[in-house]
Amino acid sequence: MLKALGFGKQSPSPSAGGHGEDERLSVLKEAVELEVSLRAMDLVMDDRPSEANKSLKEGKSTYNKLALGVINFIEATLGFEPEAIKLAVDSLYEAEQSSHRDRQKSQRTHLSTSSKFPPGTEYAVTMAEAHLLGAISLFLSESVIDSAKAFYKLRKAYQILDEVNGHVNSKGPGQNSNLSTASSSGKLSETTSRRSVASDEQLEQKARDLKFARSQRINRATNPSSETLIDESDGIEMAHESVDEFIQSGVDAMFGLLQLVISIIPPTLGRVLSLVGFRGDKEHGLKLLWRASGYSNVHGAIALLALLQFYDGPTQFSDIELPQKSPSNSSSGCEDSSSVNTTTSDITSVEDMELTKKKLETGLDRIRKFYPRGALWQLQEGRMVASKGDMPRAVEIMNDTSSGPIEMKQVEGLMLFDKTIMLVVLHEFETAAENFVRLVDLNSWSHAFYYYLSGACHVELYRQHKTSNPEYAAKHKKLATAAIEKAPTLVGKKRFMAKSMPFDMFVLRKTNQWKHTSQSEKVDLVDAIGTSPIHEVIYFWNGFCRMPKELLEKSLTYLAYSTNEQDPPIKETEDEQITRNLLQSVALRFLDRSSEGISLLDNHVLPKIWTPQPHKGHTKSGLPKVQYHKHHKDAYAGPSAIYERGIFEWKLNGLESVDRVKDYMELATAWADDYELSTRVGMKIKSATDRLETIHSS
């Protein structure tokens, strides 16, 4: 395989055969094309896609085609539109084919554009990148055939990256002197006595073009002097720098991302992938991504995005607080998964977590300066601030329009959704209700869920003002009714990987349930709703841990609405009671009223979702085996309640209770059905389990 990629071969001097001038010109030309393409991808990261596409309009090179593919891929993965996905697949396939042709040509002619790596290595990287991103794009389609093609592309990407990574990262910088290409590349900078004046002029002009393109990308220079003096040897050295950086950063980013993804996917799929040669190594993947994140190019941007999502993603939180090395430090009580799933066993304390967060902050600060107009990075900064618990400041960051209007509508939609969820956590229900409807115009996905969320906000406003301001309450009751009635009519309009969206099915079940209650109890639709639906959403997005204390107290009151003995809209069902007690227990935990929260779970939730079976044995920590009761409508509530009981155990007893907490997590996992929202609940359980394993093994 190494020989197939061009490694291990002896490469004659590029000047052999009397074509040194042409080959030098080719090296400079390819480097210019690379720099122009890298700048185009930078423009997309800086929220300037129209400029990016314009700069690539006339190009025909492999780098140009890869840049178009990457741009289309970014737009496809941000918006999930079928047309965008198809465009990404097609353009990345074209980049694959062009990479294959250029790689073969480089190996055949022994033309090396790198000072360190064999001829064609750069095109092995472009081909692997096109395969990997093309595979991801195919996975987003609804076709079973496309999914099969995606696995093939993923396998090809893995094989190429594995081989190239083994060579590129097997030695430190400057230790590739055994490669004949390293010595032969030096001959590219030698002058030839037989060179013509025209050839000199061409080479010097192309060297100036390269300096301009590289300066424009790295230093953001816009008007460098056309008289800039640069000789050919300097141009060749600069070309080597461009290509070497592309190879190293590309391998680190793409192989790091692939290794990380394979290592954290669900175990069942992971076992299947391992059978066909995929091996994920989380620690190695993270190491590569951290290194790639230091580059000021699209690979560095992709690597940092991956790290931010892994460590500081909007739904990646763990309620297992890390122990402290020093008693002087305090934990926030709500930590993101950055504090555990980093370099496996390295992060085992609050102090370690803070060091990792500091690295992320430094990286994000640097990249925001490099991409000053990039709304995607503004979004990441807002998310990072929110993960620290400062929701008002996060909303302020996302409201900042000083960089001008957002050009990429997909990013604008993501920004608005994240900001609106934060507003919900801050109980800004009226603004949130309006924003959810605005999202319908920015995103063709999840329209049913957006209307459901808007309706849920109006329900809360109706309940809060029902007595104090009947006119205002009536207005929101009407708006809630309209939104809730519209939501189910939009279910099924979009499908993901040929399946209905999880929250679409959730919306359909909830609204049908309320309609049935409305008819059977002869009450208005809004009055047929039990436990606060917007507080369920707050739980799904881990909002209770970010909620200020005074709002947690209010949430307890809002959740008790359906138990109001003086004015009960309808009698609370067992299903609604389970959900209410679950949500109230979580709010109590973040109010440091753990004994009350445990009492709710032990007395009003767990007895309804399982029956202890001590005669069948016990877990390692002494918990009895159980028989589950899975007939409740809010199916997520059962495993979630078991999970929360384990979290209470950890909060009260910490390290002394590791075995018991792990047993609770195993009992939650053993619920096992493909229940409603099982993926979301399962990720929370897995995050907690991973953290416990890390702490226990340290």
DSSP state of 624: B
Q: Over 80: is that where the pLDDT of 185 sits?
A: no
Number of structural domains (the chain) is 1
| pLDDT over 70 (residue 383) | yes
So what's the pLDDT on residue 501? Answer: 76
Instruction: Report how far residue 423's alpha carbon sits from residue 431's, in angstroms, rounded to the nearest whole number.
Output: 8
As a whole number of angstroms, the distance between CA 25 and CA 236 comes to 9
Instruction: Determine contact, residues 294/320, Cβ cutoff 8 Å.
Output: no
Burial code (b: 16+ CB inside 10 Å, e: under 16) for 381-397 equals bbbbbbbbeebeebbeb
pTM of the model: 0.86
Average pLDDT of the residues in 418-439: 98
Cα dihedral 212, 216, 219, 222 in deg (nearest 10): 100
Q: Rounded to an integer, what distance in angstroms lies between the CA atom of residue 399 and that of residue 394?
A: 9
Determine the pLDDT at residue 275: 59
Which pLDDT value is given to residue 328? 42
Task: Tell me which residue range forms the domain holding 26.
Answer: 19-179+195-277
CA distance 20 to 10: 18
Determine, yes or no, domain membership for 557: no
458 φ/ψ angles, rounded to the nearest 5 degrees: -65, -35
Task: With respect to residue 252, please indicate whether it lies within any of the assigned structural domains.
Answer: yes
What does the pLDDT read at residue 272?
Answer: 58
Other beta carbons within 10 angstroms of residue 98's beta carbon come to 22
pLDDT over 70 (residue 444): yes
pLDDT of residue 177: 37
484 to 90, 479, 572, 632, 676: CA distances (angstroms): 39, 9, 20, 22, 20
Own/partner pairs, 385-393, CB within 8 angstroms, 24+ separation: 386/314, 386/418, 386/422, 386/546, 387/312, 387/317, 387/336, 388/332, 389/332, 389/334, 389/545, 389/546, 391/422, 391/425, 391/426, 391/546, 392/426
443 φ, ψ to 5°? -145, 130
pLDDT band at 564 (very low <50, low <70, confident <90, very high): confident
d(C-alpha 442, C-alpha 405), whole Å: 14
pLDDT, position 658: 94
Q: Which of 211, 207, 28, 241 is nearest to 117 (CA)?
A: 241
- In this prediction, residue 287 carries a pLDDT of 94
User: Residue 188 has what pLDDT?
Assistant: 39
Residue 618: the pLDDT is 96
Report the distance separating Cα 105 and Cα 99, nearest Å. 10
Higher pLDDT, 250 or 155: 250
- What's the chain's average pLDDT? 85
Q: What is the pLDDT of residues 21-79, one digit of tens each?
A: 778 888 999 999 999 999 999 999 999 999 999 999 888 999 999 999 999 999 999 88
Any domain includes 484: no
Point out the least confidently predicted range of 35-39, 249-253, 684-688.
684-688
Q: How confident is the model at residue 266 (pLDDT cuts 50, 70, 90)?
A: low
pLDDT higher at 202 or 678: 678
From residue 404, alpha-carbon distances to 46, 89, 300 in Å are 12, 31, 25
Is residue 247 in some structural domain?
Answer: yes
pLDDT for residue 202: 81
Residue pLDDT, tens place only, 342-363? 443 345 566 677 888 899 999 9
44 lies in a domain? yes
- Give yes or no for residue 401 having a pLDDT over 60: yes
496's tokens: 């993901």
The whole-angstrom separation of Cα 650 and Cα 262 is 29
pLDDT band for 316, please (50, 70, 90 cuts).
low
Can you tell me the distance from the alpha carbon of 538 to that of 104, in angstroms, rounded to the nearest whole number?
54
Please answer whether residues 412 and 406 qualify as being in contact, where contact means their C-beta atoms are separated by less than 8 angstroms.
yes
Percentage with pLDDT > 90 across the chain: 63
